Amino acid sequence: MAMSCKDGKTGSLDNGKYVRYTPEQVEALERLYHECPKPSSIRRQQLIRECPILSNIEPKQIKVWFQNRRCREKQRKEASRLQAVNRKLTAMNKLLMEENDRLQKQVSQLVYENGYFRQHTQSTTLATKDTSCESVVTSGQHHLTPQHPPRDASPAGLLSIAEETLTEFLSKATGTAVEWVQMPGMKPGPDSVGIVAISHGCSGVAARACGLVGLEPTRVAEILKDRPSWFRDCRAVEVLNVLPTANGGTIELLYMQLYALTTLAPARDFWLLRYTSVLEDGSLVVCERSLKNIQNGPTMPPVQHFVRAEMLPSGYLIRPCEGGGSIIHIVDHMDLEPWSVPEVLRPLYESSTVLAQKTTMAALRQLRQMAQEVTQSSVNGWGRRPAALRALSQRLSRGFNEAVNGFTDEGWTVMGNDGMDDVTVLVNSSPDKLMGLNLSFANGFPAVSNAVLCAKASMLLQNVPPAILLRFLREHRSEWADNNIDVYSAAAIKVGPCSLPGSRVGTFGSQVILPLAHTIEHEEFMEVIKLEGVGHSPEDAIMPRDMFLLQLCSGMDENAVGTCAELIFAPIDASFADDAPLLPSGFRIIPLDSGKETSSPNRTLDLASALEIGPAGNRATNNYSTNSTCMRSVMTIAFEFAFESHMQEHVATMARQYVRSIISSVQRVALALSPSNISSQAGLRTPLGTPEALTLARWICHSYRCYLGVDLLKSSSEGSESILKNLWHHTDAVMCCSLKALPVFTFANQAGLDMLETTLVALQDITLEKIFDDHGRKALFAEFPQIMQQGFACLQGGICLSSMGRPVSYERAVAWKVLNEEETAHCICFMFINWSFV
């Protein structure tokens, strides 16, 4: 049989008979294709009966048409993808050529300085010792700079400062003013966020990024100037003065405030000059620097509760790109005054890697996200456009930052402690804070909350990766949360029971995770948490109701260096409106050792992938254990509660006890997840290397060979430990599920855990049916009798879902029955071949 993939009007050569479809038939088939692109034989026969226009076409010919149509669709998508990759590679090649030129200039400069230093060293050894100032040699950037007199801040003086800032910024963005090294863990490529580098040996902390974005230069500049819209740590930017320049540019005087990341350090502020201009080659430049030591102009006095930090020449170089879009160079260079924080936190303020993750790369991600929204303006399954979801995530993040910082100008006042200073309690009765929180139930309950209380604390963690700990807190809420507190929080702001559309994706006890949205690069995602049967109406004793939380998760990638991990959530109101009242609470974990060069940027910190089967069978790899034993991070916890003013003391006592219980739970979980206790915490996961795991691996491979007639593993070794190790590192996703009425996963290899986006800690909480959509579940259930009778079944390719709601495509799958020593069924094993995230 020969098939044609050229157009929809040509048909097929079926046993020598050529079929040509009429335009009406093609139109009918196209309509049917969009409804069901891969119909079964029964469905195809039904289509012929339902469409009289197709009655003269044989079912086999219909089958061939659908095959051709899927072929054309696949070719179209592949061609579009290759064109996009080609555009990215072209732009990336240009960036790499520019980077190569810069490095060559840097090498030439270093060679010159080296020769000069050698020549001077030889001359000074022969010369008479001279202690005068003329004999002091300076080279490159390593020289003493005298104290400059105050700079003139008149309009002419500000223009001089602006031009000087522009020159220094360009020398950092495309020149050799700063020695840049590639950021650990970042590899340039068409799918990367960009080329990211951090400074080496310069004052302060600095980061640089180059990338391609699908937006015009003016739009890029507009987005980046609105720093609070994309930089979550930015509290406010106030433009105090604007001065036009003769060359068509503008000079702006700005006052900017940044939130503190923890309760242990003060917030930062900046007094800035921002200069926007267009270069001769048409490139748009926005550069900034701190204004200090100036006279004859406006100044910004110190502000209470803020430490004045310094921004050295930084900014954005935006070049128009052929074929549309822009090539952007970003430089962030700051002195964050690390002397003002406790010594244990200073690495956080001295790390260029942290600056790159939180600021430089955040700008690139925002640009790519907004470019994607322009081309894909569709709504998601929750009826929300990406911009609306992004606004909700910003509100969650901003509300959490406000709780952590507790600024007095927002109405927060500190309550006295109870004899212990581990938990800080603040109260806010300002109208702005309470606005929107007092909604009524449908049954007319009155609004009574007139104040908000926040309990917050920070703690030092050791020997546990932040991403793994936060993932555990997300997937095992019952390990630390109190349902009674959740009910109180929802009831206090009058959050009613709501019914949200969508299917369950991951069920963890009474907690159901409903995916909402992923942002660009999957660095952040939002979801709705359904807490089943914990309602708060008077009828709850008879008919418990469900509660819903809107949750924001970020920093879940264990491989990202210097990433801040956050889990922020808030009860949501029954309408789930874009302006729904939000009272955020949650966790933030910041690594403190990300700036050190001792750790390998490519190591994987996943709790499961860190395990290596050694002679003893249950030992962690040296890479994981040695790198984690010195791992430190700081966790900040903040929980908000709305309450009636006369209940303040009672709620404060409850909040302190609750936060202390959470701290105790987190310490217990962190201890269990640390490498030194992995082997002893068998209750948290399936322990690899144990006799049970070795036996299961042997059963899996033996049953596969019995039913399919070929070996699952290519290795010739027959040892149990070798079989388990090879199965663990198999490139395809292999996972087992129990033979129960509701099958749950009991084992998965590394590829399987990656596909499900989970760990061995949470694997046993995921049911088989939750990773398939309705079509996949029907196909799977149809094959189950064959699996049990014949022993195996081959499944066609399709789409499934990870535990985080991300769609995963697979080329095909194989399911087989795993037999134990008594030749009875122990479980069902699945292997998903050539899977990838869509």
Per-residue pLDDT tens over the stretch 314-325 = 999 999 987 778
Structure tokens of 700?
A: 């899996």
pLDDT tens digits for range 65-110: 888 888 888 888 888 778 777 777 777 677 777 777 777 776 777 7
Residue 568 backbone class (left: φ over 0; alpha: ψ -120 to 50; beta: rest): beta
Other Cβ atoms less than 10 A from the Cβ of 335: the count is: 16
Most confident of 4-8, 357-361, 768-772: 357-361
Structure tokens of 280?
A: 């001769």
Structure tokens of 809?
A: 């495509």
DSSP for residue 261: S
Cβ proximity of 831 and 811 under 8 Å: no
Most confident of 199-203, 315-319, 631-635: 315-319
Burial per residue of 88-107, b for 16 or more beta-carbon CB atoms within 10 angstroms, e otherwise: beebbebbeebbeeeeeebe
CA distance 468 to 158: 49
Asked if residue 4 is part of any domain, the answer here is no
Distances (CA, A) of 435 to 163, 430, 536, 803, 816: 45, 9, 22, 36, 58
Q: Which of 767, 764, 795 is nearest to 782 (CA)?
A: 795
Question: Which pLDDT does position 578 carry in this prediction?
Answer: 73
> 384 φ, ψ to 5°?
-115, 135
CA distance 212 to 223: 15
pLDDT tens digits for range 119-176: 666 666 555 444 443 333 333 333 344 456 777 778 888 999 999 999 999 999 988 8
Least confident of 230-239, 504-513, 586-595: 504-513
Number of domains present in the structure of the chain: 4
Most confident of 330-344, 412-426, 567-581: 330-344
Three-state secondary structure call for residue 1: coil
Question: Which pLDDT does position 592 carry in this prediction?
Answer: 86
CA distance 398 to 438: 20
Least confident of 5-19, 337-351, 711-725: 5-19
Mean pLDDT (the chain) is 77
Cβ proximity of 590 and 562 under 8 Å: no
Structure tokens of 246?
A: 């003769």
Three-state secondary structure call for residue 628: helix
Cβ proximity of 235 and 404 under 8 Å: no
DSSP for residue 154: S
Return the bridge partners of 570, or none: 550
Mean pLDDT of 551-575: 80
Asked if residue 418 is part of any domain, the answer here is yes
> 179 with 323, same domain?
yes
Asked if residue 307 is part of any domain, the answer here is yes
> 701 with 580, same domain?
no
> 665 with 743, same domain?
no
CA distance 291 to 176: 24
Q: What whole-number percentage of the chain has pLDDT above 90?
A: 27
Question: Which pLDDT does position 122 carry in this prediction?
Answer: 60
> 706 with 821, same domain?
yes
Three-state secondary structure call for residue 750: helix
pLDDT at 484 over 60: yes
pLDDT at 208 over 70: yes
Least confident of 234-248, 408-422, 485-499, 603-617: 603-617
> 709 with 586, same domain?
no
Lookup result for tokens 């049953």: 703
Question: Which pLDDT does position 490 carry in this prediction?
Answer: 60
pLDDT at 682 over 50: no
Choice between 492 and 409, residue whose per-residue pLDDT is larger: 409
Asked if residue 378 is part of any domain, the answer here is no
CA distance 453 to 434: 11
The band of 189, judged by pLDDT with boundaries at 50, 70 and 90, is: low
User: Over the Cα atoms of the chain, what is R_g?
Assistant: 31
Mean pLDDT of 395-406: 94
286: domain range? Answer: 151-373
Distance of CA 268 to the CA centre of its chain: 25
- Amino acid identity, residue 514? L
**What global pTM score does this model have?**
0.66
> 292 with 339, same domain?
yes
Asked if residue 557 is part of any domain, the answer here is yes
Structure tokens of 376?
A: 């894909």
Query: If DSSP states are collapsed to H, E and C, what string results for 680-720?
Result: CCHHHCCCCCCHHHHHHHHHHHHHHHHHHCCCCCCCCCCCH
Least confident of 126-135, 336-345, 826-835: 126-135
Structure tokens of 189?
A: 């490529």
Residue 800 parent element (H or E) = strand 792-801
Write the CATH number for 561.
3.30.530
What lies within 8 Å, CB to CB, of 187 at 6+ separation is none
Handedness of CA 619, 623, 624, 629 (dihedral sign): positive
Question: Which pLDDT does position 493 carry in this prediction?
Answer: 54
Cβ proximity of 529 and 511 under 8 Å: yes
Most confident of 509-518, 615-624, 797-806: 797-806
Asked if residue 614 is part of any domain, the answer here is no
> 704 with 658, same domain?
no
Three-state secondary structure call for residue 28: helix
Structure tokens of 10?
A: 């040509």
Residue length of the chain? 838
Distances (CA, A) of 690 to 616, 618, 682, 720, 727: 9, 6, 10, 11, 15
Choice between 315 and 780, residue whose per-residue pLDDT is larger: 315
- Amino acid identity, residue 648? Q
> 652 with 699, same domain?
no
Question: Which pLDDT does position 338 carry in this prediction?
Answer: 93
pLDDT tens digits for range 509-540: 345 555 555 544 446 788 887 776 554 444 44
Cβ proximity of 607 and 441 under 8 Å: no
Write the CATH number for 350.
3.30.530.20
> 475 with 578, same domain?
yes
Structure tokens of 463?
A: 């020997």
Mean pLDDT of 812-837: 89
> 657 with 697, same domain?
no
Q: In the chain, what's the furthest Cα-to-Cα distance?
A: 108
DSSP for residue 541: G
Query: If DSSP states are collapsed to H, E and C, what string results for 107-134?
Result: HHHHHHHHHHHHHHHHHHHHCCCCCCHH
pLDDT at 653 over 80: yes
Structure tokens of 449?
A: 């909350």
CA distance 800 to 492: 39
CA distance 193 to 356: 12
Write the CATH number for 746.
3.30.450.20
Lookup result for tokens 């702001």: 493
Choice between 596 and 225, residue whose per-residue pLDDT is larger: 225
pLDDT tens digits for range 748-767: 998 898 888 877 767 877 88
CA distance 310 to 315: 14
CA distance 587 to 666: 11
> 652 with 700, same domain?
no
pLDDT tens digits for range 427-439: 998 877 666 554 4
CA distance 582 to 787: 49
Mean pLDDT of 378-401: 78
Question: Which pLDDT does position 322 carry in this prediction?
Answer: 78
- Amino acid identity, residue 191? D
Most confident of 124-133, 140-149, 494-503, 792-801: 792-801
> 358 with 217, same domain?
yes
Asked if residue 108 is part of any domain, the answer here is yes
Distances (CA, A) of 790 to 183, 749, 817, 825: 53, 25, 9, 12
Asked if residue 500 is part of any domain, the answer here is no
Cβ proximity of 564 and 552 under 8 Å: no
Structure tokens of 555?
A: 């920093």
DSSP for residue 359: I
Choice between 17 and 228, residue whose per-residue pLDDT is larger: 228
